[in-house]
A and B are shown apart, each in its own frame.
Chain A
C-alpha cells in the first residue's frame, strides 16, 4: 500500500506531466529537425510559427463555438486544427516564396539563413500579436478531466490521488498518430523517399530527377502541420500566450540537438529526454521516499538535487554533455 501510494504520487506529479510536455516538445523538435535536414538551416521562427498556427486555431474555434458546433467531451479546437494547418501552411509557403527562396537561389551559407529566420521570427512575432493580442487565452472546452484526483481516490482507496486531464490524453494520442503518419510518409511514399534522398545528397537527388521546389513545398506544409499541432496541443494543455511560445524555442532546440539534429527519431527521444530531465532533476524526493523507505529512514530535508530556479539550466547541461561526447547527438544526426 505504501509503495503504491508513493508510485501514484510520483506518477501524478512527474510521469504524467512530463510525458505530455515531452510529446509537445517532440512534435516541435520534429519540425525543427525536418527544416534542418531538408532545407539545411536552424529555423528560429519555429516557436512563433506554432504561436501563429495556434492563434488561427483559436479564432476558428471561437467561430465554431459561436455557430454551436462542438465535439462533445473533446475540445472543439481539434475540429479547427485542419483549417489552421492549411492557413499556417499558406503563410509558410508565402514566407518561403518571399524570403527564403531568394537566399536558396543565391546558395547562401546556412548561417545566413539562420539570421534570416531570426528576422522572420520577429515579423511573425508581431503578426501573431496584431492578430490575436498578448492576453492569456484559454480555449479548451469539453470535459476537463479523464479522471480526477477524487475519483481515483474513491475508486482505489489509496491516500494519494491521480489526475489525468483530457488534454494530456489527447496530446499523447495525437502525438502518436502524427508521428506514425510522418514515419509512414517518409519511409513508404514516393514523395517522402524523394525528401530523404534530397536530405542525404542534394546533387545526386537533382541528377536523378527529383523536383527540388516540390520537395521544399512539401517540407513547409509538413512543418506547418507539425508546428500547428504541437502549438494547439500545448495551448490546450496550458493556455495560449504569444510570449510562452517564443520561450519554448530553447527546450525544442535542445531536444532536436540532443537527439541528433536532422534525425526524426532523435527529435522524439530528445523531446521526452528534455521534458523528463526538467521535471525530475528539480524534483524533491522527500514525500516519495517517506512512502518507500522504512519510517526510521524517512528523510528530514527535501532531497532535492537542484532548486527549481535552475530548471532552464538543466536542458543546457544535457545539451553540453551530449555534444561533448557525441557531437552528432544520441542518434546519428548531422553535425553542426
Chain B
C-alpha cells in the first residue's frame, strides 16, 4: 500500500513536471526547406535567415522565461510531396517540434499542411510558398506565410511591364503549382491591362534539351520573354537556348528566377533583363542585410528576409501566448504581426519579448515590412530589379 502511494505520488510528480515542460520548456522549431532539388541554390540563405532569428533570441535568453530555441532541419525537396510529408512527419513525431518554419515550394507546402500540420495541430509559417491556391486552403488557423500570393505578383509584374511600355510578351512556366499559378495570375492581370500574351507554354524541369520549347516561343514572338521557372532548372535552360538562337534578348524574371547563380552562369546575355521578387525599402530590410553580412551570408537572397521573419513571428507569437504549444499561440500570430503596437525591426527581438512580457502590444515589421492580411499571408511588397554588369540591381520598390 505504501509502495502504491509512493508510485502514485511519483507519477503525479513526473506528470506535473512533464506538463510544465510542455508549456514553458525549450522550444524546437522545424526548418523544412528544399535543401536538395530545384531551389537548392537559394535555400542555404533562407535557412541561414531563420537561424539568425533563432540565434538572436537565444542570445537574449528571455523567451518564455529562459527557454532555449533549437532549429531542426529537414529536406522538403521542393517537388516530391511524399518525401516532404515524411520529412515533416519525422520532425513532428520524432523530434517533437513546436512549429514549422516552411515549407518553401507551394506544392510540398500544401501537402505538409494537409498531411502533417493539420492532423498534429502544428503551426506552419512559410517564407516562400506563393501559390494563390494556398489562400483558400483549409488550415484550421494553423497556416501563415510571410510571402505574398502570386495573384499579387502577377499585378506587380504587369505594372512593371506597363511602365516600360511593353505590350506583347511570350510566357513560359515550369509545369507545377508555382509556375502554373503565377502564369495564370500574370496572364489575367496583363491581358486585363490591355497587354497580349502571344503564347503561354509549360516547360518540364530536369531536361537538357529545350530547343523545341524555345522554337515554339520564338515562333509566337513577343517583345520580351517571361520565364516563370527556377534558376537552376528549366528556366535557365530556356534562357540559355533563347539567347543562343537569338530568339529573345530580354527576359522578365519573377521571384523563382532571381538568383546570383543564374547571372553568373549566363553572363552578359542577361544584361538588361528585369524582374521582381518580394522585398521592401523599409528600414528593416537594410538592418537585416547588415546583420546577414555579419553572420556571413547573402541577405539579399530571395526569401532570406522572409525566412528570418517567419522564424521571428513563431517565437514572438509563443511569447504573446505564454506557451510553446501551437494550439495556444496560433491565435497570436496575427496580433504580433500587425498594428497596433510598437514597431519591431530585425535585431529587436529581445525588446519585443520585454514589451510582450509587460503586456504591451507589438507590431512586428521585421525585414520585409510584415503585414498579414486575409487568411494570414503577406500583403506583398516587391523589389523591382534589373541585371546590370553582372549584378542584380534594385531599381524600384512596389
Contact = CB atoms under 8 A, between A and B. Distances in A.
A279 B211 contact: yes
Contact of B209 (A9, A21, A138): A21
Interface stretch (B8-16, B50-58, B199-207, B300-308): B199-207
A196 interface: no
Contacts of B216: 282-284, 302, 304, 308
Interface residues of A, number: 42
Given A134-B36, A149-B246, A163-B246, A14 B208 contact: no
B221 interface: yes
B330 interface: no
Contacts of A187: none
Nearest to B202: A309
Contact of B246 (A18, A161, A241): A161
A288 interface: yes
Chain A interface, DSSP helix/strand/loop, else mixed = helix
Interface string B209-250: 101111110111100000000001000110010001111000
A235 B209 CA distance: 10
B218 A287 contact: yes
A50 to B, nearest CB: 11
B271 to A, nearest CB: 15
A149 to B, nearest CB: 3
Given A163-B246, A284-B199, A308-B201, A238 B209 contact: yes
Contact of B219 (A238, A241, A288): A288
Contacts of B175: 309
B196 to A, nearest CB: 12
Given A138-B265, A247-B207, A308-B203, A163 B212 contact: no
Interface string B40-64: 0000000000000000000000000
A3 to B, nearest CB: 17
A247 B245 contact: no
7 contacts: A14-B215, A135-B232, A239-B240, A282-B216, A283-B215, A284-B199, A304-B216
Given A161-B246, A239-B240, A284-B220, 9 more contacts: A13-B215, A17-B212, A138-B265, A235-B208, A247-B206, A284-B216, A286-B221, A302-B219, A309-B201
Interface of A: 9, 12-14, 17-18, 21, 134-136, 138, 145, 148-150, 161, 163, 165, 234-235, 238-239, 241, 243-244, 247-248, 278-279, 282-288, 302, 304, 307-309, 311
Interface of B: 36, 175, 199, 201-203, 206-209, 211-216, 218-221, 232, 236-237, 240, 244-247, 265
